[in-house]
Amino acid sequence: MRLVVSCIDRRLNSFLEKNYNDGETLFVRTAGANVNSLKDTELLLKQANKIIVVTHSDCGAIGVVYKTLNERSIPDELERLISPFLQYAGHTRSELEHINAEVQGLFARKMSSADIQTEFVLTKKLDTKASENSSAVITRPSTVKYSEMLPLNKINSTFIVQNLGHDRAFDKLILTKFLGINNLTYI
Ligand SMILES: [Zn+2]
């Protein structure tokens, strides 16, 4: 089974569908493509024989990493996001975004014997406009096309969380506390 682990960012939705949704690829999405925070979803990664980790520029979760590295204490609930970056304090946000692709790729390698590939997406090259009214859906990992999951006019304004159980608490925190998105729907 091929599996994509990607950030929840709305701008990646159409990109992921176009490039990776062949009807059989399973999509897992968590803020920052933060593989290290996946526990209840870990079994799916173990079952995959190919994993593609998709990270991106202008990532809100890495914005949180960047900000937190400059502060004194790390909130417990962000420990698994922040701790791999402690050695990179002093780097720019853009550098941290590139480092994130390597960091999450390494965690995927620790977690699974699958063939691991990483991809870094430059969001400014994607054809998605700014969204003033973003919302989020929280759903299970699946092979479903986003164009079938969401109304056409919502595809580019909806953050998509796709993981299981307690893993969702991390994404809810990033969405509500750091990205200011409080309109969450479970489907
Ligand atoms: Zn992101």
The number of beta carbons lying within 10 Å of the beta carbon of residue 72 is 5
Q: Which of 144, 175, 140, 132 is nearest to 13 (CA)?
A: 144
Beta bridge partners of 117: 52
Predicted pLDDT of residue 97: 98
Distance 10 CA to ligand 1 centre (A): 9
Question: One-letter amino acid identity for 84?
Answer: P
Top-level class of domain 2-186: alpha beta
> What does 83-107 look like in DSSP terms, one character per residue?
GGGGGGTT--HHHHHHHHHHHHHHH
For tokens 């092979």, name the residue: 143
Distance 9 CA to ligand 1 centre (A): 5
Distance 113 CA to ligand 1 centre (A): 25
CB 51 within 8 A of CB 105: no
Per-residue pLDDT of the chain (187 residues; tens, 9 = 90+): 999 999 999 999 999 999 999 999 999 999 999 999 999 999 999 999 999 999 999 999 999 999 999 887 888 889 999 999 999 999 999 999 999 999 999 999 999 999 999 999 999 999 887 777 899 999 999 999 999 999 999 999 999 999 999 999 999 999 999 999 999 999 9
Structure tokens belonging to residue 68: 């937190």
